[in-house]
Amino acid sequence: MTETTTPRRAVPLWIQIVIWIFIVGLLAIVALGLSRRQQGTVQPGQKIDDFTLTLYSGYELGGRSEIKLSDLRGKAVVINFWASWCKPCEQEAAELQQAWTEYEPGGEVVFLGVDYVDTETDARVYMKKFGITFANGPDLATSISQYFRIRGVPETYFIDKAGVLRYVQIGPFVKVEDIRAQIEPLLK
Amino acid sequence: MIANLGFGVLLVTFFVTLYSLLTAAFSNPKAFARLFRSIPTPRTQRWANDLEKLDTPQRAASMVESARRAMLLTFPLISLAAGLLIYLLVNDHYEVQFVYQVTSRSMPTYLKVTAWWGGQAGSLLFWSWLMSAFASLVTLRKWDRDREFLPWVIFVACFTLAFFIGMTTFYENPFKQFYQTPTGVEAYFLQPANSILFTPQDGNGLNPLLRHPGMIVHPPMLYLGFVSFVIPFAFAIAALITGRTDDRWIRLTRRWALWAWLFLTLGLVLGGRWAYDVLGWGGYWGWDPVEIAAFMPWLTGTAFLHSVMIQEKRGMLKHWNMILVILTYDLVIFGTFLTRSGVLSSVHAFAQSAIGPLFFTYIAITFIASVALVIYRWGELNAEAEMHSLLSREALFLFNNLLFMSILVVCFWGVIYPLTSELFTGAKVTVGPAFYERANGPLFAALLFLMGIAPLSAWGHSTLKTLGRAAWKPTIVAVIVTAALYALYTKNVYALIGFFLVAFVILITLYEYWRGARARQKSKNENIFTAFWNLTGRDRRRYGGYIIHLSMALMAIGILGIELFQIETQGTLELNQRVSLGGYDVEYRDIARFTGPDGREVTRAVLGVYQNGQYLGDLHPRIDYYFDAQQTMTIPGQRATMKDDLYILLVNWEPAAATGATFKIYVNPLVNWLWMGSLLFLLGIFIAAWPDKDPQRVAVRVEKSVRQVSAAD
Amino acid sequence: MKVSTMLNKIRNTKYAVLATILLLFVTLLAFNSVSAQGPEPTDDEVNKIAKKLYCPVCENTPLDVCPTEACRQWREQIREMLIEGKSEQEIIDYFAATYGERASGDPRDKVKAYLIPIVGILLGAGLLVSALRTWRKPKAAEAIIPAKDAGDVHQDEYIARIEAELKKRD
């Protein structure tokens, strides 16, 4: 299929160019895919792009069933990725809720639970079990988790009032103090 | 101590390999002189002059010899490193990170040995060891007729080896040990300051999936196939570099390619068998990217085996064969890369490992360099003959190549599509079996058809009339067989097309065989069996090939059976309750839970199997829970016949108890033909690839006879 | 937007259905009936759909054989949706919308998925055809002549060939 039509002659330049463009393109795709895999999660210091989180009914934020990150400018945002099937998530659920009840009256901090690859039925059972009251919603089409490039659940992202990521927690929190320790700097 | 020694041996091996490849390359200063000559600056011209002065035959010969010996030295060196690693594995040296990762005290000794290739670092060492063994074998042969190839074959082999050994030494070293430092326990090559050796009590244990006998042989087979394809590649590159572009390199590596193909095919079949026995999804092939990674070099390799025949007989397709062997080589590395770098599985495993970019760089360099070489030598690889007929054997081989390449395109796209989709649209996609089956189904059917008619066509010229004359009898029988199947077995159109093609291939191939034997019987007065035997012995490649075709047709029966007629049911049974599927009645009789000797808890159900009220025996599906690895395996209970397999799984996500257990029951029709076919395949390839007494002389003789009888095969 | 309204719709109907199921369950209990026939789908019906879905938690493992908790929940979801009377396509669409395209084992954008391989194959076929044509040209005239009588002699020619081979090599 690549036998030359005119033997004893070199490959025409334009064919050479086509071949090289093809090869480089192919390699570039694999390289980009690979570098994406190597990146890890979004790094602290990065400004987080706007995204929309649809909220479960009963877990709305200020009566709104849909919340944009940009709506929360001026407030510190704690984004917690979790799932009802995830055992380690259960370790920190009570602590997160406790931290939320502490910060809720101040109005300076918003907690957003992003439910990763979960069914609503089971999510509700889980939230009820741990008495969770902060805003929660499904990660529709896994677009939010893809943006943050999460590597698993639970992971928690701390965003300051200007919308810049300040800290990433991989795995569950053990103590409420640890959560507080990450929120306090965001309020200054 | 031993771990340090092992690390030292690896380091020495790496430098020996480097020495070998550099010496081999510089034994031929003319090549570099030519390179410098092409750059028109005074300085490079001067270098070129100096280099040409260096080029004396004695110096070249001694350098090549030195490179050859260095390369031969790598095999005992890597064997020593491997021996040390096995010693560490067998003797529970958990202070070594690799040993900790893949073994545990409860594992039997043979599993501790095979754990060598059960983890990343070890399997790379294993790859290197095989590579070195094959390269040594090649350099040990007589080289008098092909002196000029030798340095470049050594160069390519050592280049590949250096990459793998380098990676094993510097990035994925199996001899890294745990050290307790003030900041915690970590694995290091060398003892850091202020630290003491840390020895865990027990290891993680081998991944239970890898403890199956099938998995013990499957990776070595696959790796053997991978590694032996490096040899034809090395010769191809040597031919390109030296400019000796006749088909000598193909004749020299024909058998290597066949053996490589044997191992690769066996590796794939064993992988399928392993999946069938262990993975517990009722099938043998799931179009998983990892499987496809091993399948792609098989496709190009198979295409290569066919198209080299055209070059040998007709002197055509020289470019194409080069491209195929380069593709095969890089797909081999790409396959290893895909499975090892985590580029496909996003969340898990090796995502942060440094070997991903290294593999990528290596593939990019070798691929670009090889393609550049082909383009450079393009004009010298001219075709010698012309094509006379679209139905001649060479034309049919071309169609065969087109089909294999098309399947490759489909598979490659299926693997790469999720990557491109994520890059360009941000949406991740899954490319599951439905895509591959839909796209490849017609291609496989066309391949079967070609497999049927190709043996009938002659080199040079064939027409519809000649083909029709040879094919009409088997075709009629195939039609009758299909009609019978329609009446008795199935009305499924795809199945009928498939079975017709299978019958077509088998009948034509047997008919061809029979005609040959009859001709021999008449002319030589042999009885028919001697005639068969001698016929095969006379042209082993051809008749071995026919047997391989037959085996592929048998495998196709199995594939058609399981793909089109598999039935399954899932249900929760109480004790003594029955369920029926596909003519079988299955009764849940008993369940027991006990602890096995090698650190696992076994939950084993007993099911009685009945057919038409007749008791056929018990089946024992079970769930094994491995304490060390904290993983479960679901092992099916199987009852295999040529008609169908009864395949029962104990579902591991539901409670399994006497009060009720959930079973998944499959009836997999005809799947046994797949395994039968693979046994026949073995026979065929042994016939085709077994070394001749004097390969050099036979090759010359065949060449002569080909020239004299152009139609002869 | 579309997705969220759809989701709301699904959610609302789901509650209604859940309530009716509960009611049904209670009545069934009252009648002391053992098996809940009718709306309750069998495992096989669930698996038939699950076969075509892939959960992001365990990549490349079809849902019907995946043992993880997340996948068990998904199968439960399929069961609930079947009870609601959803068709197979509706269920797959729902999963693709909720969990992203990759939940569907078959690429949903058929054009994008199949265009490139088809173009690639056609390109290869085109190259082959053009190569064959250039190879045939020079000897096209000669090729016709042997082709004509080759048909009649094929049978004998084949035997002759084998005999010739035998003589040569023995």
From chain A residues 100-129, the ones with a CB under 8 A of any chain C CB are 117-122
In a domain, B450, yes or no: yes
The verdict on B665 and B699 lying in the same domain is no
Residue B203, Cβ neighbours under 10 Å: how many?
26
Cα nearest neighbour of B414 on chain C: C113
Mutate to test the interface with A, among C99, C121, C123 (most CBs of A within 10 A): C99
Predicted local distance difference test score (pLDDT) of residue B547: 93
Q: Give me the long-range contacts of A97-103 (CB less than 8 A, separation at least 24).
A: A97/A130, A97/A131, A97/A132, A97/A133, A97/A134, A98/A176, A99/A176, A99/A179, A99/A180, A99/A183, A100/A133, A100/A134, A101/A133, A102/A176, A102/A180, A103/A183
The values of phi and psi at residue B549, to 5°, are -60, -45
The values of phi and psi at residue B609, to 5°, are -110, 130
Q: Per-residue pLDDT averaged across B376-403, rounded? A: 80
Contact status, residue B342 vs residue B353, Cβ threshold 8 Å: yes
Pairwise CB contact (< 8 Å): A85 & C127: no
Residue B488 has pLDDT above 60, yes or no: yes
Predicted local distance difference test score (pLDDT) of residue B247: 79
Domain with CATH 1.10.8.640 in chain C: 2-103
Choosing from B206, B237, B266, the residue where a domain stops is B206
In a domain, A14, yes or no: yes
Q: C-alpha distances in angstroms, B6 versus B3, B186, C137?
A: 5, 19, 63
Contacting subunits of A (3+ beta carbon pairs below 8 A): B, C
pLDDT class of B230 with cuts at 50, 70, 90: very high
Predicted local distance difference test score (pLDDT) of residue B681: 93
Pairwise CB contact (< 8 Å): B406 & C120: yes
Predicted local distance difference test score (pLDDT) of residue B343: 59
In a domain, B579, yes or no: yes
Please state, in angstroms and rounded to a whole number, the distance separating the CA atoms of residues B35 and B96: 47
The verdict on A13 and A77 lying in the same domain is no
Pairwise CB contact (< 8 Å): C101 & A2: no
Size of interface A-B (CB pairs under 8 A): 81
Pairwise CB contact (< 8 Å): B423 & A1: no
Higher per-residue pLDDT: B326 or B514: B326
Please state, in angstroms and rounded to a whole number, the distance separating the CA atoms of residues C132 and B459: 15
Cα nearest neighbour of C55 on chain B: B430
Q: Give SS3 for B580.
A: strand
Opening angle at CA B706, ends C125 and B517, nearest 5: 95
**Which H or E run contains B602?**
strand B600-611
The verdict on B495 and B627 lying in the same domain is no
Contact status, residue B133 vs residue B72, Cβ threshold 8 Å: no
Pairwise CB contact (< 8 Å): A54 & C4: yes
DSSP classification of residue B459: S
Q: How many Cα atoms occupy the beta-carbon half-sphere of C39 within 13 Å?
A: 17
Please state, in angstroms and rounded to a whole number, the distance separating the CA atoms of residues B304 and B254: 10
State the virtual CA torsion across B650, B654, B660, B666 in degrees, nearest 10: -30
Predicted local distance difference test score (pLDDT) of residue C20: 53
The verdict on B444 and B520 lying in the same domain is yes
The verdict on B423 and B525 lying in the same domain is yes
Question: What's the number of domains chain A is made of?
Answer: 2
Residue B701 has pLDDT above 70, yes or no: no
Q: Per-residue pLDDT averaged across A100-125, rounded? A: 92
Pairwise CB contact (< 8 Å): A122 & C76: yes
In a domain, B300, yes or no: no
Residue B635 has pLDDT above 70, yes or no: yes
The verdict on B545 and B573 lying in the same domain is no
The verdict on A34 and A61 lying in the same domain is no
**Span C94-105, pLDDT tens digits:** 999 889 888 988
In a domain, B263, yes or no: no
Opening angle at CA A149, ends A146 and A154, nearest 5: 100
The verdict on B472 and B569 lying in the same domain is no
Question: What's the number of domains chain B is made of?
Answer: 3
The verdict on A35 and A56 lying in the same domain is no
In a domain, A44, yes or no: no
Q: Nearest CA of chain A to the CA of B346: how many Å?
A: 6
Please state, in angstroms and rounded to a whole number, the distance separating the CA atoms of residues B402 and B395: 11
CA B408, distance to chain mean position in Å, is: 14
Please state, in angstroms and rounded to a whole number, the distance separating the CA atoms of residues A145 and B481: 56
Predicted local distance difference test score (pLDDT) of residue B448: 94
Q: Per-residue pLDDT averaged across B52-78, rounded? A: 88
Pairwise CB contact (< 8 Å): C138 & B399: no
In a domain, A165, yes or no: yes
The verdict on A28 and A97 lying in the same domain is no
List, in order, residues 6 or more apart from C34 with CB less than 8 Å away: none
List, in order, residues 6 or more apart from A173 with CB less than 8 Å away: A91, A92, A95, A96, A156, A179
Instruction: Report the CATH fold assignment for C2-103.
Output: Helicase, Ruva Protein; domain 3 (1.10.8)
Contact status, residue A122 vs residue A84, Cβ threshold 8 Å: yes
Contact status, residue C46 vs residue C79, Cβ threshold 8 Å: yes
**Span A24-67, pLDDT tens digits:** 999 998 888 888 777 778 899 999 999 999 999 999 988 889 99
Opening angle at CA C132, ends C128 and C134, nearest 5: 120
In a domain, B540, yes or no: yes
Domain that holds residue B90: 1-206
Residue B706, Cβ neighbours under 10 Å: how many?
16
The verdict on B537 and B628 lying in the same domain is no
Please state, in angstroms and rounded to a whole number, the distance separating the CA atoms of residues C146 and C138: 15
- DSSP states of B673-702 as a string? HHHHHHHHHHHHHHHHHSPPSSHHHHHHHH
Query: ω into residue B174 within 30 of 0, thus cis?
Result: no
The verdict on A86 and A171 lying in the same domain is yes
The verdict on B656 and B558 lying in the same domain is no
Domain that holds residue A25: 1-39
Please report, as a single letter, which amino acid is at residue B469. R
Residues of chain B found within 8 Å of residue A32, distances taken between Cβ atoms: 419, 423
Contact status, residue B505 vs residue B475, Cβ threshold 8 Å: no
Please state, in angstroms and rounded to a whole number, the distance separating the CA atoms of residues C61 and C69: 14
The verdict on B403 and B496 lying in the same domain is yes
Choosing from B171, B206, B241, the residue where a domain stops is B206
* Maximum CA extent, chain B: 94
Residue B115 has pLDDT above 70, yes or no: yes
ipTM: 0.86
Q: Cβ-count burial of B588 within 10 angstroms (0-12 exposed, 13-18 middle, 19+ buried)?
A: buried
Please state, in angstroms and rounded to a whole number, the distance separating the CA atoms of residues B590 and B228: 49
The verdict on B116 and B44 lying in the same domain is yes
Please give the structure tokens belonging to residue A152.
């698993």
| Cβ–Cβ contact A66 with C under 8 A | yes
Handedness of CA C159, C164, C166, C167 (dihedral sign): positive
The verdict on B609 and B471 lying in the same domain is no
Residues of chain B found within 8 Å of residue A30, distances taken between Cβ atoms: 343, 360, 416, 419
For chain B, the average pLDDT equals 86
Please state, in angstroms and rounded to a whole number, the distance separating the CA atoms of residues B539 and B519: 15
Predicted local distance difference test score (pLDDT) of residue B68: 92
